Amino acid sequence: MVKIVFLLEGRASEAGEINKSLLTFGRVINSLVEHSGHFHYRDNRLTRLMGDSLGGKTKTCIIATVSPSAHCIEETSTTLDYAHRAKNI
């Protein structure tokens, strides 16, 4: 039982880090789309890694994976909004 709880806590921690990375990435995308002066590239490992690949004269491909299932409609809608914003960089 202890091992299962530890594994679940580890996955929750990992999911939290992934969500934090995606949130920061979303902020960078918004900053680039709005042409604001400050981009949060250094706020996260993911955005530091991708900093040179976003904006300017670079071309970046972002693949948005969505589901036709009705129980995934909220996440699909959010993903499509995210991809639409990224398209406007």
Task: Give the separation between CA 36 and CA 7, rounded to whole angstroms.
Answer: 41
The pTM of this model reads: 0.65
77: left (phi over 0), alpha (psi -120 to 50) or beta: alpha
Helix ranges restricted to H, 1-89? 2-33, 45-50, 73-87
pLDDT digits (tens, 9 = 90+) for 30-61: 888 888 777 777 788 888 888 777 777 778 78
Is the separation of the CB atoms in 27 and 43 below 8 Å?
A: yes
User: What CATH architecture applies to the domain 2-87?
Assistant: Up-down Bundle (1.20)
